[in-house]
Amino acid sequence: MQDSPRTFRLDALILKHMDYGEADRIMVVYSKEQGKVRAIAKGVRKLHSRKAGHLEPFTHSCMFLARGRDLPIITQAQTIDPFNGLRNDLVKIGYASYVIELVDRFSSEDGENYSLFHLLLETIKRIEDSEDLFIPIRYFELHLLELQGFKPELFTCIKCKKTIQAEDQYFSAELGGVLCPKCGLTTSLTQTVSLAALKYLRHFQRSTYTDILRVRIDLKVREEIETLMRHYITFLLERRLNSPDFIKIVEHLRTISHTA
């Protein structure tokens, strides 16, 4: 069997970085070619580093790496898209951080997943270009879950397998889907889900992004859907996410500034 080449190229989005040693950083990126990758960027914290600006979080970069003893070493990097539309908007930064945190938490360093890479890039671009972020975020959540094997069942009762009827239902994060009223009443740790919320969740799950942009969802239903999705994702990860608290703070500050 041939040895792996000493150098290789990645088309990747920077997820996060951690300072390492006096001037280095350990980078976590999500790439088209290899999925999630950890690599080291030597000297990137030095004042005159040529790579530093190309390795910031939310940046889509082309990078060249050399295989090292423990981690590959980033030898060159060139920005493909800096997503500058995010940089001066704290709310958009918050939602981009949420997307990146989900990708990081739901993925491991287990090889290429082109569909997830494509979804990640498209979602960051949609956040950059959109004023209403509800649709791009909910679309991302449901399709991320599907790609990673956690697609919630929204069309048949997860317990009795009967087709869900046009009425309010229950949702079980533990079982991974909706329950009819009869099963919901006899199952612990469920939450109610309205017919309106279920209808939109189904639409997000099975429709194209372009089709979803045509829908209009009132505030009460938006809040119900967001609460349900947050509950399900937190259950799956078995831990709280960091970014939602930041989003809550910056959205509150924006509301105050608009009403001042």
State yes or no: pLDDT of 3 exceeds 70.
no
State yes or no: pLDDT of 1 exceeds 50.
no
The CATH number of whichever domain residue 108 belongs to comes to 1.20.1440.120
Residue where one domain finishes, among candidates 39, 66, 82: 82
Residue where one domain finishes, among candidates 82, 99, 121: 82
239 and 135 within one domain: yes
User: Do the domain assignments include residue 1?
Assistant: no
- Cα distances (Å, whole numbers) of residue 10 to 13, 85, 168, 170, 189: 9, 24, 47, 44, 44
Mean pLDDT lowest among 83-87, 190-194, 254-258:
254-258
* pLDDT tens digit sequence for 24-67: 999 999 999 999 999 999 999 998 888 999 999 999 999 999 99
Average pLDDT, the chain: 94
Angle (nearest 5°) at CA 239 between 106 and 199? 65
* pLDDT tens digit sequence for 186-207: 999 999 999 999 999 999 999 9
Q: Residue 114's CB: how many other CB atoms inside 10 A? A: 11
135 and 235 within one domain: yes
73 and 95 within one domain: no
State yes or no: pLDDT of 11 exceeds 90.
yes
Residue where one domain finishes, among candidates 82, 100, 125: 82
41 and 120 within one domain: no
Q: Number of structural domains, the chain?
A: 2
Note the pLDDT of residue 66: 95
Q: Note down the domain range covering 20.
A: 7-82
For residues 33 and 53, the answer to whether their CB atoms sit within 8 Å is no
For residues 66 and 6, the answer to whether their CB atoms sit within 8 Å is yes
Tokens in use for 79? 């920005």
70 and 121 within one domain: no
